Structure 1
Amino acid sequence: MALLPILVAPDPRLKVKAKPVESVDAETARLMEDMLETMYAAPGIGLAAPQVGVAKRVVVVDVSPEGERNPLRMANPEILWASDDVVPYEEGCLSLPEQYDEVERPARIRLRYLDHQNEIRELEADGLLATCIQHEIDHLDGKLFVDHLSSLRRNMILRKLTKLKKADPELGQPKAAVAAR
């Protein structure tokens, strides 16, 4: 397994719509494992392939309590149903380090995806898991959580990140890679 560099906004690769995978083969399963390792090291609770520069419809999520691991590995996740009731949640993102804001999303969802063994699965989710999955699917469609905010708030956050990237060129690089330099 390998730690992957995480793209930091505003990077144009984060705005690309990801392509579906035909099947979860050994290469895609390895990508999922590398993404999990990267997500845990960051640390985060979700990561989409476009965030590591891979334009494939692949996400990993783990909202388990600290010290536990129960990851979901998903290829081609598709929301089949979303509740009409919405809930606000303060979201953050590994591609927008140290930036948080409230986003409203459907409280419950049902989705279909291919798991890491190329099996079709369906899942109903609510709470943090539903929010996290919707956030990661947004990445697959070239959307960031700041795209749900007012243009004023979004531009403030993106300007702040541009300054951070200029001040710290290693922003988004795996900690192990930075430590090795």
Structure 2
Amino acid sequence: MAVRKVLTYPDPILKSVCSPAQAGPGDREETGRVIADLLDTMDSFDHCVGLAAPQISESVRIAVVDVTDHPNAKDPHGLMVLVNPRVVHRSEGTKVSREGCLSLPDLTANVRRPRKATVEFLDGLRDFEMNQVQLAGFEARCVLHEIDHLDGILFLDRVASITDDLFRRQNYR
């Protein structure tokens, strides 16, 4: 469909809670357009592993994630198109790791997230069937990062210490 402009902080759309995406038979053309634009936009960036609808000015609960080619991914699920995703379980065990975001292009940060999560969603690749996946490691981190976008949360909101855990991107390679 189209490569869209990625919004950057402090655009207010990024801090807004998104509305549920409509996935009924009469709504699929519009939802499909948003999905296609997310995929085209994600594919236009090197090393991009996920993108959420509000990042392309769409305030609906849709995100795409594909960590398949990332060196930190272990047994990934491949491309996931998550429509109205919901976290149904987060592990108690957590890990702090570095995160980046296209909407905060000059920054990275150390962010604490659960090591594992179970997410339920309408599968945009499989005729909007309900799906549930158990995620671990880097893939769990990426999916939770994108779901945060749907709730108006940026990784800045999860940083324990702005002084110790936030970095300019050019200082981290």
TM-score of the aligned structures, taking structure 2 as reference length: 0.83
- Give the Cα–Cα distance (whole angstroms) in 2 for the partners of residues 78 and 36 of structure 1: 20
The structure-2 alpha-carbon separation of the partners of 1:48 and 1:153, relative to structure 1 and needing over 3 Å to count, comes to farther
CA shift, 1:153, in A, is 4.4
Q: CA RMSD for the aligned pairs?
A: 2.2
Matched residue, 1:32: 35
- Matched with 2:153 is 143
Structure 1 runs of 4+ off > 2 angstroms?
A: 150-154
1:87 to 95, 99, 113: 95
Q: Closer, same or farther in 2 for the Cα pair 1:28/1:129, shift >3 Å?
A: same
Q: CA deviation at 1:58?
A: 0.3
Structure 2 counterpart of 1:22: 22
Q: Tell whether the 8 Å contact from 1:42 to 1:94 is kept in structure 2 after alignment.
A: no
Deviations 1:73-128 (A, max 9, x none): 01110000110000112000010113111101000001100011211000000011
Letter in 2 for 1:136: E
Contact residue 22 and residue 31 of structure 2 kept, 8 A? no
Specify the SS of the correspondent of 1:6: coil
Does residue 1:98 correspond to 2:106, yes or no?
yes
Q: Map Cα deviations across residues 152-179 of structure 1 (whole Å, 9 max, x no partner).
A: 449x87xx8xxxxxxxxxxxxxxxxxxx
Counterpart of 2:44 in structure 1 is: 41
| Correspondence for 1:56 | 60
Alignment of 1:132 onto 2:132: no
Letter in 1 for 2:87: I
- Conserved in 1, the CA contact under 8 Å of 2:122 and 2:131? yes
**Pick aligned residue for 2:85 from 77, 89, 98:** 77
Equivalent pair of 1:89/1:102 in contact (CA under 8 Å): yes
SS in 2 for 1:130: helix
Q: Identity across aligned pairs (percent)?
A: 37
The number of aligned residues is 156
Answering whether residue 11 of structure 2 is matched by residue 11 of structure 1, we say yes
Amino acid across the alignment from 1:3:
V
